Amino acid sequence: MTPHDLAHRLVEARRQHRPIDVPAPDSLPPDAATAYAIQQAVIAGLGESTGGWKIGAKVPGGAAAGAPIPGSLVLPSPARIAHDSFFRVLVELEIAFRFAEAIEPRGRAYARDEVLAKVGVVLPAIEIVDSRFTEWPNVAPLAQLADAQNNGALITGHPVAYAGLARGFDFVSPELELSFDGDSLIPEATGNPAGDPRELLVWFVNHCAAMGITIEPEWTLTTGSYVGAHRLHKAGIVRGHIDGLGEVEIELT
């Protein structure tokens, strides 16, 4: 199987709503660059434009990864979505960002201060995690990366100006709540595994620059879960709240 073949299979899995088997080990993406190329091929194969990105890291300062999200899957809250439009539904409560202006690729790296100066707004968000692979979560990391890093959809609350938040908001340990049909999904300990999610924006801007991608101001960039991932096996109402940012809601039908 070639990278083109995997991209085609992932497109068909979405179009036909049929999960696919993981490629054999010798047919997996050989490296991250190939996985990122497959992501872009899937977006193009779906006839979609990019509406956002999911980015994250497992530890503060650790290696980051990301994936584009099709525009049709970035939805404003309150959103109403069919549970069975996904292969599985896991929900995560996250903080998302949008830049105030387009950011063009360039030859030299963007510095942290440059990147944060371009942040326009911050939003509460719920990511729906899904996978097109039957065997998930027992799937090789590069295959998951190729498959949009397991993104299913992104639902966003109202934007809040970053300039008014930057000094007083706790990006590492905000007060928050996530519930399903009124039952809390909050674990004993909360927090983004990457630490301050703004650091991921610096990686993201330079990642896109290296790929020759212009970042558009309308893209929503979500930055990892503060509460882990919670699988939901039935329809119901998911509500999230982050103090200082507001509410986000999904009705799974």
Of 96, 89, 97, 169, the residue nearest 131 (C-alpha): 89
Backbone angles phi, psi at 237, to 5 degrees: -105, 125
Chain segment 182-221, per-residue pLDDT in tens: 999 999 999 999 999 999 999 999 999 999 999 999 999 9
Q: What's the CA gap between 209 and 111, in Å, rounded? A: 12
> Are β-strands 74-76 and 151-156 bridged in parallel, bridged antiparallel, or unpaired?
parallel
pLDDT of 1 reads 59
What is 117-179 written as a DSSP string?
HTEEEEEEEEEEE--SBTTTTSS-HHHHHHTGGGEEEEEE---EEGGGTTTT--SSS--EEEE
Question: Does the domain spanning 50-252 belong to CATH 3.90.850.10?
Answer: yes
Q: Where are the domains of the chain?
A: 50-252
pTM of the model: 0.95
Of 41, 40, 67, the residue nearest 56 (C-alpha): 67
Residue 104 DSSP SS3: coil
Of 208, 207, 173, 219, the residue nearest 52 (C-alpha): 219
Of 11, 55, 239, the residue nearest 149 (C-alpha): 55
Chain segment 28-61, per-residue pLDDT in tens: 999 999 999 999 999 999 999 999 999 999 999 9
pLDDT of 23 reads 87
Query: Can you give the pLDDT of all 253 residues of the chain as single tens digits?
Result: 567 899 999 999 999 999 999 988 888 999 999 999 999 999 999 999 999 999 999 999 999 999 999 999 999 999 999 999 999 999 999 999 999 999 999 999 999 999 999 999 999 999 999 999 999 999 999 999 999 999 999 999 999 999 988 678 999 999 999 999 999 999 999 999 999 999 999 999 999 999 999 999 999 999 999 999 999 999 999 999 999 999 999 999 9
Residue 15 DSSP SS3: helix
